[in-house]
Chain A
Amino acid sequence: MITLGIDIGSTTSKAVLLEDGEKILAKKIVPLGTGTTGAQTVFENVLEMAGITPEQIDYALSTGYGRYSFELAKRQISEVSCHAKGIRFLVPTARTIVDIGGQDAKALSLAPNGALMNFVMNDKCAAGTGRFLDVMARVLDVKVEDMGDISELSTKEITINNTCTVFAESEVISRLSSNEKIADIIAGIHASVAKRVSGQALRVGVVDDVVMSGGVARNKGIVRAMEKEIGHKITVPEDCQLAGALGAALFAWDELLKEKNAG
């Protein structure tokens, strides 16, 4: 039995094809979000990778900001629950999840059995999210995916005080004009994001194991800064950005089992 989980986010589309709720047949990330061809592209990509046709999918379930735009999905589940489900699959001991996506950041608290018990999300402001880092990367003329590596070269602590993306942008520009090193500025940006997001984690209560998911978790600098802020070690699974899509595919498997039991 094959299930599809598709996570149509604000900036990227992710898909996972799962066999019997266990084996990942194909996974893919396309850097195009809701309202674009991203969802269709990522869908076609995973089909091709697994060598199957759409008819062979037994159940498709969508999540993410654009979850209602994917017609093949029989059901939609919020990305909050999908992330929890996906991360538990990747890290069965996870109790606290910090997820930083394109335009939101959230902290999730799980019961020992993995049930999602509480979550806190960022407020209306995009500070502390992937979009914040995108803006900063553009100002600094670096690739956002390189920020983690560059920040490792930092030798000096610089603070970025403004949480507002617009104000922080001018603050970064003024740091640049006073000839601060880019590595130091990036480390400062990471610390700023970590401070903001860790507040959410502390509000749901940090219990080990702490896991990070979402595209921003691929940035080692942010993970380090988060560990420092919350005082706990953070695990980042390899497929951290796919947690939502994986969770959706797992929920799809649950739905299939339910249908089977009912039938």
Chain B
Amino acid sequence: MILVSRRYKFSASHRLQSFLFSEQENREVFGKCNNPFGHGHNYEIEVSVRGEIDPGSGRVVDLARLDNLVTSTIVERYDHRYLNEELPEFKTEIPTTENLGRQIEKRLAEAWPSSFPGARPALARIRIFETERNMIEVDH
């Protein structure tokens, strides 16, 4: 089994706040991530692809095509945005790294066949780093 991974970056701001919680509860659960004006991160995402090594090129995936797909579907969507205010998916969902990871996985999976129509290479896994210390992994 061979897995190829590529990393991409975007910077965005967010605020963690649940409509189900009181102001006090929000502060208790989310701490400074609940500060009213939001705050930002340099996010890094790692996209992993599963496939076979093509005997002609020696490659599992066309990296330029993967870069185009991830850049147009994810990076351009989220880079330099306030997630809560500007992205419809976060009008209802809290933009935690978990939810952001799930959104990224869903959006990449939907767009995948337009760039990679066959069974291989296949989307395998998304990792999203909110900081160097916080990482969420979503298997596809």
A and B found bound together? no
Residue numbers of B with Cβ under 8 A of A are none
Residue numbers of A with Cβ under 8 A of B are none
